[in-house]
Amino acid sequence: MRCYLSSSVGVSRGQGEPCRLSRLLEGANIREMGVHDFAKEYQSKADEELLRLELVSGQLTPEANDALKVELSRRLINGTDRLSAFREQEAQRQTEEAANPGRLFSVYGIGRNRFGKARYVYNSETGMERFATTVFVVLFWFPLIPTGTYLAEKKREFLSNEITFLEKLPLDWEQVLKVWVVAAGSLLDLIWVFKLLPRLLYRP
């Protein structure tokens, strides 16, 4: 059966209702195939992955949503209490991930390191100090690019480098500028020393 579409009215002409019914049946078949494909994919996912999809179900297609609800129901994890608990776990996980600045390291003056201690607070009872510090990408020991400011905590001990990052804060540009100024001043001092050193060594 051939269908001819009229661009002016948006319906078929020549065959009328049979063409319209054919298109509806074809759309239903395509939707059923889509739900089936999603169902096969969801069956291979872990419970946590499905629950994360349920948290953003408003962004899924209708076919994906239908298949997701069926799979959640099949696994008996579609209750509101389970979803609420998982939402809290996800929020906690995302907070912890945001508070993690990544590995701090330096190889021949290139890497990532933290600088600065703003909003400093010391607890004499626990011996813990808490402060805001900014992590930089370091190039030849110079703090070049700030990647984030974090609230950090560490034990005040001699030669103790162990530090715990508690949460990520808005980038502290005041601290960034202070770090840059101090680093630039140190660099200028170093250049001045290198210029002065030959005169001191080879003084007639």
Which residues have CB under 8 Å from 75's CB, separation 6+? 47, 50
More confident residue, 143 or 17: 143
Domain residue limits, the chain: 4-93, 105-201
**pLDDT band (50, 70, 90) for residue 202:** low
pLDDT at 145: 92
pLDDT at 189 > cutoff 80: no
**Average model confidence (pLDDT) for the chain?**
78
Provide the CB-side half-sphere exposure for 32 (13 A, CA).
Answer: 6
Q: Between vectors from CA 169 to CA 168 and to CA 173, what angle results, nearest 5°? A: 130
pLDDT at 2 > cutoff 60: no
Token digits of residue 47 = 């419970």
pLDDT at 146: 94
pLDDT at 28: 45
pLDDT at 196: 72
Name the nearest CA neighbour of 114 among 195, 42, 176.
176
pLDDT at 85: 86
pLDDT at 178: 93
pLDDT at 176 > cutoff 90: yes
